[in-house]
């Protein structure tokens, strides 16, 4: 039974038990409607407590049911039944009350919560809006401004804050059911009037707030439909009584749910969870204890990695070559955490205490007790090999030795350590303390428990961890290299950096590739190109625009000029000098420039990546298309509302992609565009990466 109804004296108890997160499946909705009817009909029952078994209160609608026809009773009917009851209904909350779960709680007449509970309406993250009265009741209960923020951002809040803004009536300690029964008795004894949230008035002090919020969201969440519709829905709460407002809200929600963005965002939700499960690695694989971590290399990357750990309470030994670089790294950490102090979310004492958990040192002897070492030194095989040879000796047996390399062969490093089973890749993305992606890389000899441990560590430091096999660039950078290659060819053939940047910006990336290159540094790109020289084709060697910019000292933002020029506020302006350089380059290469339309640019850039993704799947470097999509959405800015490159390919149809690849194979060269056998097979069978 998903819902049981019991009685304790004059109090009815409806207990939801639907593991793992008590989602509002059809069975739960039916069970709750029945429980409410029983409570209403039973003269002995004077009040009802709604509580959940297991680890959490209801964490929302059952997302797996979306996209299928909804079966009655709908959540909307359930919340109406709850609210209109004449007996006091009390929601007793632990864990997370999210989405439809919070909507159920809002329809109850009282809400109590444990101090550890969290409450939120995260629907916007799934590309929809709360469609069971959430946008109508929340503003009535906590005010329009606070509700707008919670609903459009989708973040949950702790119980204490929920109490402060009037979302919960009481925070209770101890055993929740006992506390809920005591609360119910008190409500009855005091004859407290039933307060129906839907009968309150949602007042708005600044009517311009809706337009202002929409304008801000259009910038902050560019391209996303749901945040805009969330604002429209909240506005309805100030214009209509609850019944009409809820009906209109439901229509807005259904419209979003049927759209392509929500389908992609739901895919993103499941992709994030799917990638945590490593095929072939049983769930009960033992994990090694990770209580202390060492980071080798206090540069920008090492500093960010160290922050990831100290932010979750894991102390870090930070190893550098000399004191000044260590001091600089600590200074950067202080500055980054300092912004929390400035915002008031952290005290100076807490900051000092956190920094005190870093032990800066130049001595490898300090590594003798650490459980995990992450090497983040200069991207050079000889330098890294030297570090790994030292690590093999300096650490205790069983300590995991990880490298943050972006493209070097970790199997070579593994051998140098003398302990290849302990060696693994942990590829962070800059800035490591901000970016959600962590590409863990499985070497030929990496032990299963090492893999299981680094996947778990990824979760502990709040990353989306994806497992990749060894290859040049792993999943993300390998695909990116194909996109960058096409960009260079397009520049040679007639496009400009700003045209290409705009095409990808319009596609949904936050920045185009040449703006990114200027930000990261042309010198960095040049060094990477040199390091990978032997892997590049003849045409790529000749497409040497990066080398020419580098020779001119145009390193990007740091020198005020790269592809673009920059003013002192780092505002980018297309530079005619770059255009001249490219025109001269095309002429020298004997290429007649032509006008290239945006469609060709988009297809060549994105389809080259998709084709490489298919090869990555074929080779088993990524176990599933989910892994590729999770990498691109969490580490490379692929718009979530398009679901990642492999999902996107399925949406436009693999046949379309296949035919375009054939066309560009003819036009640019089979060497660059020949469809991968997997992509060809799926396309010709009318299948997709996800519907094999």
List the catalytic residues. 103, 123
CA dist 692 and 686 (Å) reads 9
Site for ligand CAA in 59-78 (CB under 6 A): 59-64, 75
Task: Give the nearer residue to ligand CAA in terms of CB position, either 274 or 674.
Answer: 274
Task: Out of 81, 123, 249, 540, name the contact with ligand CAA by CB under 6 A.
Answer: 123
Only one of the segments 97-105, 232-240, 420-428, 668-676 lies at the binding site for ligand CAA (rule: CB under 6 A); that segment is 97-105
Site for ligand CAA in 124-143 (CB under 6 A): 126, 130-132
Residues 6+ apart with CB under 8 A from 390: 364
Task: Give the nearer residue to ligand CAA in terms of CB position, either 62 or 492.
Answer: 62
Check binding of 304 to ligand CAA (CB under 6 A).
Answer: no
C-beta atoms surrounding 539 within 10 Å: 16
Q: Residue 17, preceding bond cis, omega within 30 degrees?
A: no
CA dist 630 and 479 (Å) reads 13
Strands (E) across 437-582 are located at: 437-442, 464-469, 564-566, 572-574
Check binding of 43 to ligand CAA (CB under 6 A).
Answer: no
Site for ligand CAA in 401-440 (CB under 6 A): none
Q: How far is the CB of 474 from ligand CAA (least distance, A)?
A: 24
Task: Out of 195, 273, 368, 570, name the contact with ligand CAA by CB under 6 A.
Answer: 273
Only one of the segments 96-104, 342-350, 474-482, 556-564 lies at the binding site for ligand CAA (rule: CB under 6 A); that segment is 96-104
CB 60 within 8 A of CB 34: no
Task: Give the nearer residue to ligand CAA in terms of CB position, either 24 or 92.
Answer: 24
- End-to-end CA separation in angstroms for the chain: 35
CB 465 within 8 A of CB 454: yes
Task: Out of 13, 16, 21, 642, name the contact with ligand CAA by CB under 6 A.
Answer: 21
- Nearest to residue 338, comparing CAs of 355, 315, 359? 355
Q: How far is the CB of 583 from ligand CAA (least distance, A)?
A: 51
Task: Out of 31, 100, 643, 675, name the contact with ligand CAA by CB under 6 A.
Answer: 100
Task: Give the nearer residue to ligand CAA in terms of CB position, either 121 or 374.
Answer: 121
- The CA-atom distances, in angstroms, between 505 and each of 264, 516, 557, 561, 610 are 19, 11, 19, 21, 18
CB 457 within 8 A of CB 622: no
Q: How far is the CB of 226 from ligand CAA (least distance, A)?
A: 11
Check binding of 103 to ligand CAA (CB under 6 A).
Answer: yes
Check binding of 23 to ligand CAA (CB under 6 A).
Answer: yes
Q: How far is the CB of 3 from ligand CAA (least distance, A)?
A: 16
Q: How far is the CB of 371 from ligand CAA (least distance, A)?
A: 23
Q: Residue 73, preceding bond cis, omega within 30 degrees?
A: yes
Task: Give the nearer residue to ligand CAA in terms of CB position, either 62 or 422.
Answer: 62
Distance of CA 618 to the CA centre of its chain: 26
Task: Give the nearer residue to ligand CAA in terms of CB position, either 137 or 235.
Answer: 137
Tokens 């509580």 correspond to 51
Residues 6+ apart with CB under 8 A from 286: 449, 452
Q: How far is the CB of 270 from ligand CAA (least distance, A)?
A: 6
Q: How far is the CB of 471 from ligand CAA (least distance, A)?
A: 27
DSSP string, 58-105: ---B-GGGTTSPPPSSPHHHHHHHHHH-SS-EEEEE-SEEETHHHHHH
CA dist 329 and 306 (Å) reads 10
Ramachandran area for residue 344 (φ above 0: left; ψ -120 to 50: alpha; else beta): left
Task: Give the nearer residue to ligand CAA in terms of CB position, either 62 or 600.
Answer: 62
- The encoded tokens of residue 231 equal 């604002």
Task: Out of 78, 92, 98, 142, name the contact with ligand CAA by CB under 6 A.
Answer: 98
Task: Give the nearer residue to ligand CAA in terms of CB position, either 247 or 273.
Answer: 273
Only one of the segments 19-27, 164-172, 207-215, 599-607 lies at the binding site for ligand CAA (rule: CB under 6 A); that segment is 19-27
CB 459 within 8 A of CB 467: no
Site map (CB under 6 A) of ligand CAA, residues 229-268, x = contact: ------------------------x---------------
CB 94 within 8 A of CB 113: yes
Task: Give the nearer residue to ligand CAA in terms of CB position, either 272 or 603.
Answer: 272
Q: How far is the CB of 61 from ligand CAA (least distance, A)?
A: 3
Q: How far is the CB of 95 from ligand CAA (least distance, A)?
A: 7
Binding site for ligand CAA (CB under 6 A): 20-21, 23, 56, 59-64, 75, 96, 98-100, 103, 122-123, 126, 130-132, 253, 273
């Amino acid at each position: 039974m998903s819902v049981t109804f019991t009685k304790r004296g004059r109090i009815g108890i409806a207990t939801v038990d639907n593991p793992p997160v008590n989602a509002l499946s059809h069975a739960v909705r039916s069970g709750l409607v029945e429980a409410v009817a029983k409570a209403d009909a039973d003269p002995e029952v004077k009040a009802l407590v709604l509580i959940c078994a297991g680890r959490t209160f209801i964490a929302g609608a059952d997302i797996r049911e979306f996209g299928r026809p909804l079966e009655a009773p709908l959540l909307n009917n359930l919340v109406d039944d709850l609210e209109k009851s004449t007996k006091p209904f009390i929601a007793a909350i632990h864990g997370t009350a999210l989405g439809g779960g919070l909507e159920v709680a809002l329809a109850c007449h009282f809400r109590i919560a444990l101090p550890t509970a969290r409450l939120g309406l995260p629907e916007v993250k799934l590309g929809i809006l709360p469609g069971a009265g959430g946008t109508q009741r929340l503003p009535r209960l906590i005010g329009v401004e606070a509700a707008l923020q919670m609903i459009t951002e989708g973040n949950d809040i702790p119980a204490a804050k929920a109490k402060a803004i009037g979302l919960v009536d009481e925070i209770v300690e101890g055993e929740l059911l006992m506390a809920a029964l005591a609360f119910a008795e008190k409500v009855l004894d005091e004859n407290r009037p039933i307060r129906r949230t839907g009968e309150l008035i949602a007042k708005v002090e600044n009517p311009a707030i809706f337009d202002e919020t929409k304008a801000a969201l259009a910038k902050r969440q560019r391209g996303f439909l749901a945040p805009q519709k969330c604002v429209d829905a909240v506005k309805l709460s100030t214009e209509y009584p609850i019944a009409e407002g809820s009906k209109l809200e439901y229509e807005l929600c259904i419209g979003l749910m049927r759209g392509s963005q929500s389908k992609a965002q739901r895919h993103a939700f499941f992709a994030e969870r799917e990638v945590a499960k490593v095929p072939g690695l049983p769930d009960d694989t033992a994990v090694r204890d990770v209580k202390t971590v060492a980071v080798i290399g206090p540069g920008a990357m090492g500093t960010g990695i160290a922050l990831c750990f100290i932010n979750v309470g894991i102390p870090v030994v930070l190893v550098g070559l000399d004191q000044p670089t260590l001091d600089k790294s600590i200074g950067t950490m202080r500055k980054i955490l300092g912004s929390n102090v400035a915002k008031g979310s952290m005290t100076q004492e807490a900051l000092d205490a956190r920094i005190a958990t870093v032990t800066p040192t130049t001595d490898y002897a300090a590594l003798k007790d650490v459980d995990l070492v992450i090497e983040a030194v200069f991207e050079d095989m000889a330098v890294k090999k030297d570090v790994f040879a030292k690590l093999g000796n300096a650490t205790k047996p069983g300590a995991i030795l990880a490298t943050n390399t972006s493209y070097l062969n970790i199997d070579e490093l593994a051998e140098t350590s003398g302990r290849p089973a302990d060696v693994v890749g942990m590829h962070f993305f800059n800035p490591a303390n901000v970016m959600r992606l962590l590409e863990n890389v499985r070497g030929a000899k990496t032990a299963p428990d090492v893999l299981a441990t680094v996947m778990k560590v990824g979760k502990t430091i709040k990353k989306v961890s994806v497992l990749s096999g060894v290859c040049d660039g792993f999943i993300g950078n390998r695909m990116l290299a194909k996109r960058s290659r096409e960009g260079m060819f397009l520049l040679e053939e007639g496009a400009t950096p700003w045209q290409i940047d705009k095409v990808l910006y319009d596609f949904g990336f936050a920045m185009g590739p040449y703006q990114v290159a200027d930000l990261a540094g042309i010198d960095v790109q040049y060094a990477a190109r040199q390091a990978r020289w032997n892997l590049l084709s003849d045409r790529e060697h000749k497409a040497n625009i990066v080398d020419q910019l580098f020779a001119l000292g145009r390193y990007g933002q740091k020198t005020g000029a790269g592809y673009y020029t920059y003013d002192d506020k780092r505002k980018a302006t297309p530079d005619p000098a770059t255009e001249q350089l490219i025109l001269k380059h095309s002429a020298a290469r004997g290429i007649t420039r032509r006008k290239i339309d945006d469609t060709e640019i988009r297809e060549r850039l994105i389809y080259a990546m998709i084709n490489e993704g298919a090869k990555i799947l074929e080779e088993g470097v990524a176990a599933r298309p989910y892994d590729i999509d999770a990498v691109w959405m969490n580490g490379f800015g692929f718009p979530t509302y398009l679901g990642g490159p492999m999902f996107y390919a399925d949406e436009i149809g693999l046949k379309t992609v296949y035919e375009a690849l054939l066309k560009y194979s003819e036009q640019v060269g089979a060497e660059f565009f020949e469809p991968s056998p997997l992509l060809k097979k799926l396309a010709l069978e009318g299948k997709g990466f996800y519907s094999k």
